[in-house]
Amino acid sequence: MPLSLTLTEGVLPEKAQTQAIKRITDAFLKWHGLSGNKVMTPNVTAHLSVLPKGHTFSGGEPLDDGVWIELKTPSFAFTDREVQQGFFKDATDIIVELSGGKQPRDHIYSNVTHTVDGTWNINGSAMTNEEIGQAIA
């Protein structure tokens, strides 16, 4: 489940960037009841992009303090409203905390993209939602 964390430089100190990835990953696993799952945990991957000031925008105008949290997941993830609300609250709180309270909540953007069933490649095998469910059970 790829996690993309994109932020404008200066929003988080460098050390906090790694902490953000770890803590958001842990929140994803927690809200899906998968903390410590031996199959899912290593398959929540992430990348971090830190963009220079002047290269992030809102409404077509430069945004000096933006954060974007995006996940690509199978269609069975994030279907429960409580999970949606809980995860995104936790992820937002993590960014605000790690920024020392300086990052405005209204400049933290997030979303989930669901993929086509059967397109997850785990351990070299394209897996359906049902196969993933069996693997993590």
pLDDT tens for 76-94 read 899 999 999 999 999 999 9
From the CB of residue 123, how many other CB atoms can be counted at a distance below 10 Å?
9
Query: Which pTM was predicted?
Result: 0.92
**Distance of alpha carbon 113 from the chain centroid:** 11
* pLDDT class of 41 with cuts at 50, 70, 90: very high
What local confidence, expressed as pLDDT, does residue 102 receive? 96
What residue ranges do the domains of the chain occupy?
3-136
Domain at 3-136: CATH architecture: 2-Layer Sandwich (3.30)
* pLDDT class of 121 with cuts at 50, 70, 90: confident
What is the distance between the terminal CA atoms of the chain, rounded to a whole angstrom? 17
**Distance of alpha carbon 34 from the chain centroid:** 15
Cα gap 31→15, rounded to integer Å: 25
Q: Give the type of residue at 69.
A: I
Per 3-state DSSP, what percentage of the chain is helix, strand, and coil (rounded to 5)?
35, 25, 35
